[in-house]
Amino acid sequence: MNKRMCVLILGILICGLPAMALDGAAWQGSLDELADGISQTAYTLSEKAGTAERAAYDTVADRTDRNQRRLAELIGALETPEDLRAALEEIRGFGAKGPLQSHTSGVALKMLKDRANFLQQGDLISEDLQPLSQELTNTEVNRASRPEQLLDRRQRALVMVQVPVAEAVISITDNGEQRRLEAFKAMLKRHECRLLSERTVDKRTNFYISGKKFVLEAMIRHYQGSEVTSNLKAIMTLTTGGFWGKTTIDVTVAPKPNATETGSLDWYRAILEKDPWKWMAENDYGKLSTLGKIENVAGENKLRLKNAKLQIWVVPANGTVADAIYYNEADFGDVYVAAR
């Protein structure tokens, strides 16, 4: 039996079947169930972190798959151009209700297009189907680009409250074309991560970022990186002196146990970078005194720091200068601090 004969027999069988009107209630129910499943999947995906959350995600994802298969069965039962057009109108009407419904309609529309192509390729109702097939091809609906767009107001509020936010330092080494850097920055944008600071030396760039904890954990596993928990430290090089000789000391500043703000980039920039000499005088005067000489100024003994210069790197807790996410240097001229 050749292929054309099979198609002819199949066409006779289909034509012999009784015509069935599209069940609008069944369609609406199926689309509603799929939309709800997509929304719940997006919500559990947004909060996916521990074992319990992963179990909830898997359960919802399975239910959504079943809802999609039920819709596929309804679409698979469509046989005539009239049925296809009625289904298209149902999809359009449902998609006009909101972003979630529009995204769900996009899923249904893709299956409807596939069904129309199957019927047309089977040469069963090609003449009647051609105009509708072209209309289906030209029909598009908006699809969500981020999971948050599929959540209702309550779910979005819960995600904002429940999803842990973290900070991390990620290091990327790239060649001159910078394709890895561009891909990484696109990933940050896609996952709505915030770039707090970055520093590039040669081919290596260190990114200091914040974002959803489970997103950053995945990045840390894939790239070279570490999580930041208010534990950044600063490395300072303090230099004094002039033409006849210079004196330099290196100082590492770590956050204090009961003052987490001292481990933040903002604190190092506002306090340490602004006046490292004052901080040293209050915390390690003995080491600071090696950089200068005592002079009497207006009847008071002062420690003079001639041509004082600062270099400062802010690095992760276990990092070195190579891991710095921030660097700056400054000339202070002659600095006087109270002598002890």
2 falls in which pLDDT band (50, 70, 90)? very low
Interval 172-221: pLDDT, tens: 998 877 888 999 999 999 888 999 999 999 889 999 999 888 889 889 98
Minimum mean pLDDT among 5-14, 113-122, 289-298: which range? Answer: 5-14
Residue type present at position 247: T
Cβ distance 108 to 93 under 8 Å?
A: no
Looking only at the bridges linking them, the beta strands covering 300-315 and 293-297 are antiparallel
pLDDT at residue 311, as a whole number: 97
Averaged pLDDT for residues 239-245:
86
Q: Give how far Cα 266 sits from Cα of 117, 287, 326, Å.
A: 59, 25, 11
**What is the widest separation between alpha-carbon atoms in the chain?**
116
pLDDT at residue 55, as a whole number: 53
Cβ distance 250 to 284 under 8 Å?
A: no
Phi-psi region of 291 (alpha: psi -120 to 50; beta: other; left: phi over 0): alpha
Interval 70-122: pLDDT, tens: 888 888 888 888 888 888 888 888 878 877 777 777 778 888 888 877 777 65
Cβ distance 129 to 120 under 8 Å?
A: yes
pLDDT at residue 1, as a whole number: 42
Averaged pLDDT for residues 261-274:
90
pLDDT at residue 48, as a whole number: 47
Interval 12-25: pLDDT, tens: 333 333 344 566 67
pLDDT at residue 101, as a whole number: 76
The number of residues making up the chain comes to 340
Q: How far apart, in whole angstroms, are the C-alpha atoms of residue 94 and residue 78?
A: 18
Residues 6 or more apart whose Cβ sits within 8 Å of residue 8: none
Q: What pTM was estimated for this model as a whole?
A: 0.54
Q: Residue 217, Cα to own-chain centre: how many angstroms?
A: 11
Q: Residue 320, Cα to own-chain centre: how many angstroms?
A: 27
Averaged pLDDT for residues 118-141:
64
> Is pLDDT at 163 greater than 80 in this prediction?
no
Q: Give how far Cα 135 sits from Cα of 83, 92, 130, Å.
A: 14, 12, 9
